[in-house]
A and B are shown apart, each in its own frame.
Chain A
């Protein structure tokens, strides 16, 4: 009898049309009845979820993906808090000293990595434009959020996402210093030799010009004496 009643209510519940009274009855059956037909409930839940499969497929606008990505980006703080909480739960035994030590090591490794990247870019003559605007094309929609997640794993890079979306200045400042330093080194290593060569060539040209000028003067003098 109980099972029959449960089944009747299940059929209405999966369609979401139980009234308050029946909803309460079903809740009590679920909690208090060991023989509650969970399998049948699952089957009916699956059944109603199959109903929309008979509809003719329609497609949302392609820009919706970008909009969704922006919505997700806007809740990044909430997600970050969840990730932090999750991490804290996963590693409760880590001492403060160990944590600080790891953090320090991580920052150093990160710095080396960034410097290596900048060195490589300078070697290739790659122009790093710090004012480059963020582009959110169709294929990059979720990259904003993706960047955000990756930054979660490397705390220095959190600033990079902020840089792209909100505050270019705060994140780029330390990188700018490094770039300027690299640019100076690059000029020193590759252009200084050229400048020396150029200077020598200018010197040579000056001497030659002086000699030509002197010869011209002698020729003018000679012509003057020949005329007389």
Chain B
């Protein structure tokens, strides 16, 4: 088994960029449970979640040149990538009309495009802050939390949420903006 704590995420990603499979194994050991938890929350069934997780690591291996080593925001990149992939599968399974899945589509829609002006997150730091996030989410109203979940885990856009909740799209927009704004504020206060 690869040593899972010897290298930083950034060092691992650099090695993966040189197609070092042991580094990819280290990344898998480190991130697979976290990404799997997120994916399973989105698609709910175990087999599909595992298939997606496996595909995510194939994407990392194939598209490592798409990762921005200047930003080095590995945690956010991986989580966003896993979420995008899971939502894509969910939408296709739900019969949503989407372009054919191609290399180009993957680069455009699945690979995250993160802002370069960033303070990179570390997985360990995130896991240690679990309580703070729970508290921040708990401080939102039920409605705010619900629209946030429908969007983040359900992959619904504003119109779909509006249809589902039978409320105007502008209301959905405003609720989501307030929800995410509050979440940011509560989390900043908890730091």
Contact = CB atoms under 8 A, between A and B. Distances in A.
Q: Do A and B bind each other?
A: yes
Given A47-B187, A48-B180, A146-B22, A57 B121 contact: no
Contacts of B24: 72, 142, 145
A39 interface: yes
Interface in A27-60: 38-39, 41-60
Contacts of A44: 180, 184
A30 B50 CA distance: 36
B133 A18 contact: no
A68 interface: yes
A12 B22 contact: no
B168 interface: no
Given A54-B137, A79-B19, A60 B50 contact: yes
A55 B20 contact: no
B146 interface: no
A58 B21 contact: no
Given A47-B187, A51-B152, A55-B41, A149 B50 contact: no
A223 to B, nearest CB: 83
A15 B19 contact: no
Contacts of A171: none
Most A CB within 10 A of own CB, among B112, B157, B181: B157
Given A53-B129, A54-B133, A47 B183 contact: yes
Given A43-B184, A58-B33, A51 B133 contact: yes
Given A8-B173, A16-B152, A59-B33, 13 more contacts: A15-B152, A42-B118, A45-B112, A48-B180, A51-B137, A53-B126, A53-B130, A56-B37, A58-B37, A65-B32, A67-B50, A75-B62, A138-B1
Contacts of A143: 21
A71 B51 CA distance: 11
Contact of A68 (B22, B54, B87): B54
Contacts of B102: none
A17 interface: yes
A83 interface: yes
Interface string B28-61: 1000111011101100001001100111011001
Given A46-B76, A145-B24, A15 B49 contact: no
Interface string B1-41: 11000000000000000011110110010001110111011
A54 B140 CA distance: 14
A139 interface: yes
A14 interface: yes
The 8 tightest CB contacts between A and B, nearest first, are A42-B118, A145-B21, A42-B115, A142-B25, A52-B38, A38-B117, A41-B115, A49-B79
B73 interface: yes
B156 interface: yes
A67 B54 contact: yes
B187 A50 contact: yes
A41 B157 CA distance: 19
Nearest to A23: B157
A16 B180 contact: no
Contacts of A164: none
B97 interface: no
